[in-house]
Structure 1
Amino acid sequence: MADGTEAVVIGGGYAGIMAANRLTSRSDVAVTLINPRPNFVERIRLHQLAGGTYDAARDYRDVLAPTVRTVVGTVERIDAPGRSLALADGSTVGYDRLVYTVGSGSAAPDVPGAAEHARPLASLEEARRLRSALQDAPASAPVTVVGAGPTGIETATELAEQGRRVTLVCGGVMGPYLHRRGRRTVARRMAELGVAVLRGPGTSVVEVTAGAVRLGDGREVPSRVTVWSVGFAVPDLAARSGLSTDGDGRLLTDETLTSVDDERIVAAGDSAAPSGMPLRMSCQAALPLGARAADTVLSRIDGKRPGPLNQAFAGQCISLGRHGGIFQFAHRYDVAVGFHIRGRLGARVKEKVCRGTVEHMADEARAPGSYRLHRISGGPERARRLRAAQGADGAAATAAAEA
């Protein structure tokens, strides 16, 4: 066992806070959390912040163990051989063990005019800017939401419930994760709220202007405020630092979440790619991954073999305004099934999930090591997928996944 280990966590989102809190279970581990802002952001509530129904910024004292040292700053480079981090302000921070949880943000739009005229919704700052734009616009002004994943659906229904005139441009399937029955439920709720849903061939956005969204079929949708919720991207910190990443920039790890380049670096959350097969971007994945990453660090400090990733999913929950919602159940390996909860009960379940994520982090801060959900088996599906991806030569690499 090492004496006086310095553990540094980069990123103060769901995975980073869970990992930092769990690492405080050891008195001989000093934990530092580095984050660009001085507070925790409930990212799953950013649509509420934009709509003015919730303030998604929380004091770290609500969710972070008091012994964790916080540094407000941005890491520009990881010097893995030197075990140090270069920050944007010119300072450096050394480490013995590093947890990489930099999360994800808005993907740079490649549609003409989108960068200038559309407003993304993946960060606290973006949500606040969108809220200001909505407040500056008349209540009757047309609002267009581009992208029909969870963020787009939640934003469209949140604003429509407030009386806004909203158009949702899908470009493809609305709610691609959902079972077809779940999609029908969402479509009915959209109709109740008066959301105009544009989907199918020709509905891909080809240009965004100051007052309209132009579609591939030639239609022009008037839009005073355009919300861009198409895709997420991870920061390029790992790639800039010379570490191995997947094609989207996530840090490549093995099934224990350990970097393939350096066993002193582990990753969790949206920015991790275990065996090149990242889990779905969600707080549902981030919390267990954060706990697993911390367990890997503690095992390595003790000279023990870390346990492998063992992830189970329950489904996906989506707000449909303050008075409606859907909880889409799924197989443990994250494929939707035909059953879901909808309506006001769905809204209550979604609210319970949102509160529950914060409670899990706060509980871990008070009693490090108490979180257990990352130990629920996700079943053998991931091991089968690894075998299929790696072929016969991957048998040894997948042994840990089946242990």
Structure 2
Amino acid sequence: MTRLIGTLLVLFWASSTALAQVSDNAVRIGVMTDLSSWGRDNTGPGSIEAAKMAIEEFGPTVLGKPIELISADHQMKVDVGTQIARGWIDNSKIDAIVDVPNSAIAIALHNMARERNKILLLSGAGASSLTDELCSPNTVQFTYDTYALAKVTASAMVVEGNKSWFFVTADYTFGQQLEQDATRFIKQAGGTVLGSVRHPSNTSDFSSFALQAQNSKSNVVAFANAGQDTQTAIKQANEFGLVSAGQKLVGLLLFDADIHAIGLREAQGTYMTTASYWNMDDKTRAWSKKFFDRTGVMPSMIHTGVYGATLHYLKAIKTAESDDPAKVMAKMRELPIEDAFVHQGRLREDGRVIRDMYLARVKKPEQSKERWDYLEIVRTVKGDDAFRPVSESKCPLLKR
């Protein structure tokens, strides 16, 4: 009898193993990020480490096959990013690409992933069009988008009486869409936009832009840019006395590393929206301190998004018993998203992950209790309220 049970168990295991299918005998994930340009501090090496931490948490194998991780620097150039992705698909047999901080590059890879039947797990790319009119069954937008950043920040600020706005906007896809989305919510809440100015990437002198913002006499000066551009803009806005004169600053895409670079004295009082914060609870603190030991910085929401997207992807492969993209995407939509930073999140048919977002304000220096203790969470906004509702979506994948 014991021998019979043992035989049956072996046969069951063999049958299950035979049903589980992993192409090319490995699951290969490519982290495409920025290692050399203005987004490096908020993505870059930290995104690679975050993906490694997800793999380590899940385990070194899935369905008995190794999980392999490769990475590359897209240099914030569309042609470089597409060339890397094409090489990964053709030569490295990549199964999924994660991160991609740059919306123009993400849109190019988004189309390639659909054509080549690969999975794209976006954390760094924020253009809301990726899960709206451009939506694809192969793309996941895991962390944030311009719609949520704009809605959470603008709606809350206008309700509190900050009705007039002026934009300092990066002259590329992400910045333009961020301003466009924010303008909509400002007007819906009863506010007005007094003006805006565009600047190229890697601008070192924001003096003329700061003066235009100052002369507008707006209640709020909003920076629709990212990385070093945001850091420089906020520093120079303080130098020109915008805050001391009563104008409030909003970083529509601001990260802990930006605040660290600016310094609390100059960044204090700035409002922002984030998908995660390292100092929320015991779980986020424990994970973040491990991350800090490996990188020397606390994680940005892009880093925690790379971790969460990679972990959820691996869980879906295990549950689907296959790395077939259609089967994996189906399981990613079916399974609740649970990790150190996301609780009861879900993946919608349009590729948008629905998760809580947080309106935060940068602390005053005397309020900070330890290094990297920079944010005060002002409001938690449920995912259904933060992200674009189905009723407004142009995505044909959503069932009406």
When normalised by structure 2's length, the TM-score is 0.32
When normalised by structure 1's length, the TM-score is 0.32
- Greater fraction helix: 2
- Greater fraction strand: 1
